[in-house]
Amino acid sequence: MKATVLVTGGNGQLASCINAISQLYPKLHFIFVDKNVLDITNALNVLEFFNNNKIDWCINCAAYTAVDRAEIEQELVQNVNVTGAKNLAQACEKHTAKLVHISTDFVFDGKQNMAYTEYDATGPLNSYGKTKLQGELEIASILEQYFILRTSWLYSEFGQNFMLTMLNLSNEKKVLNVVDNQIGTPTYAGDLAQFIIELITTESVKFGTYNYSNEGVASWYDFAKAIFEINKVNINVVPIPSSDFPTLARRPTFSVLDKTKIKLVFNSRPMYWRDSLELCLEKPKKPTF
């Protein structure tokens, strides 16, 4: 019998990457839903959906990710990132489904100078990071069978993300200013999608919280330069400090994630970020929202 996999946030870039490779896994039945089909902030709606569909796995890609707007729309970000995560966890617990929840490097404050492990103290700087951490805590308090995957700087050929934004801007401008003092790791959503499906197909029971990103270290400036170099775009990219580009939300200056745990537990070997970027840039671009 096929295992049924519910994927929330079905129009987002990670869900789109999962959808793009889903046909390679005929033993899995995927249900992709967006907020118009399943409102995860509504507990009754979630329970009704689980009652009507035999869900074996739930991949929660739904999130409020507009980091600056989250400082204003605090009730909405709380509902999606905390209440939504709690509602899905409760439904999974009731129906004995396993939950894969996507979290973020923004649960850390960025003040240390070594890559963050899963055991380092959290200290989010903004509403987005705080609510994502609260969502993690809700899940861990309700479920035993869960995977929380913290990732960073997600991009893909789908949706809206830094890579596609840079490519679009390069059609309009000859000079771009890009922040060079925020350090992290660009992560191709296609790689994360593959890792998640492998968790499911192997029926892993090694539950817990894990860091998953591509390998390596980069600034947003480095990321932008690589996008243009690989895509052979002739544009002048100027490094600027984040102080020259003020935003509503504070961001961690250093948010590189240590992947030692997933390497040891799953024998996983994430690709170097620039290698994954090259693969992504070869694919047709498909903005989805």
Please report how many Cα atoms fall inside a 13 Å half-sphere around the Cα of residue 58, on the Cβ side. Answer: 35
- pLDDT averaged over every residue in the chain: 94
User: What residue segments make up the domains of the chain, in order of their start?
Assistant: 3-160+186-216+255-272
Q: Is 7 helix (H, G, I), strand (E, B) or coil?
A: strand
Specify burial of residue 50 (Cβ count, 10 A radius: 0-12, 13-18, 19+): buried
- Sign of dihedral through CA atoms 114, 118, 122, 125? positive
> Which amino acid does the sequence have at 100?
V
Q: Is 21 helix (H, G, I), strand (E, B) or coil?
A: helix
Tell me the residue length of the chain.
Answer: 289
Q: Is 150 helix (H, G, I), strand (E, B) or coil?
A: strand
Q: Mean of the pLDDT values across residues 39-68?
A: 95
Please report how many Cα atoms fall inside a 13 Å half-sphere around the Cα of residue 183, on the Cβ side. Answer: 14
With a cut of 70, say whether residue 14 has pLDDT above it.
Answer: yes
With a cut of 90, say whether residue 118 has pLDDT above it.
Answer: yes
- DSSP class of 2: P
Please report how many Cα atoms fall inside a 13 Å half-sphere around the Cα of residue 245, on the Cβ side. Answer: 16
Q: What is the pLDDT of residues 277-286, one digit of tens each?
A: 999 999 776 6
Closest C-alpha to 138, from 75, 85, 62? 85
- Structure confidence at residue 289 (pLDDT): 46
- Structure confidence at residue 286 (pLDDT): 65
- Structure confidence at residue 137 (pLDDT): 97
Q: What is the pLDDT of residues 222-276, one digit of tens each?
A: 999 999 999 999 999 999 998 887 888 888 899 999 999 999 999 999 999 999 9
- DSSP class of 210: E
State the fold for domain 3-160+186-216+255-272: Rossmann fold (3.40.50)
User: Is residue 128 annotated as part of the catalytic site, yes or no?
Assistant: yes
With a cut of 60, say whether residue 288 has pLDDT above it.
Answer: no
The continuous run of DSSP H or E covering 43 comes out as: helix 43-52
Q: How confident is the model at residue 17 (pLDDT cuts 50, 70, 90)?
A: very high
With a cut of 90, say whether residue 214 has pLDDT above it.
Answer: yes
Q: What is the pLDDT of residues 163-199, one digit of tens each?
A: 999 999 998 889 999 999 999 999 999 999 999 999 9
Alpha helix locations (H) across 96-206? 127-142, 162-170, 189-201
Q: Mean of the pLDDT values across residues 198-221?
A: 95
Q: How confident is the model at residue 3 (pLDDT cuts 50, 70, 90)?
A: very high
Q: Is 82 helix (H, G, I), strand (E, B) or coil?
A: helix
With a cut of 70, say whether residue 46 has pLDDT above it.
Answer: yes
Residue 248: Cβ within 10 Å count: 12
Structure tokens, 189: 């959503």
Closest C-alpha to 101, from 71, 61, 141, 138? 61
- Structure confidence at residue 246 (pLDDT): 83
Structure tokens, 245: 């580009």
For the chain, what percent of residues have pLDDT higher than 70? 98
Q: What is the pLDDT of residues 29-40, one digit of tens each?
A: 999 999 999 999
Task: State the Cα–Cα distance between residues 70 and 131, nearest whole angstrom.
Answer: 10
Q: Is 277 helix (H, G, I), strand (E, B) or coil?
A: helix
Q: Mean of the pLDDT values across residues 34-53?
A: 95
Q: Which of 64, 128, 155, 221 is catalytic?
A: 128
With a cut of 50, say whether residue 202 has pLDDT above it.
Answer: yes
Specify burial of residue 18 (Cβ count, 10 A radius: 0-12, 13-18, 19+): buried
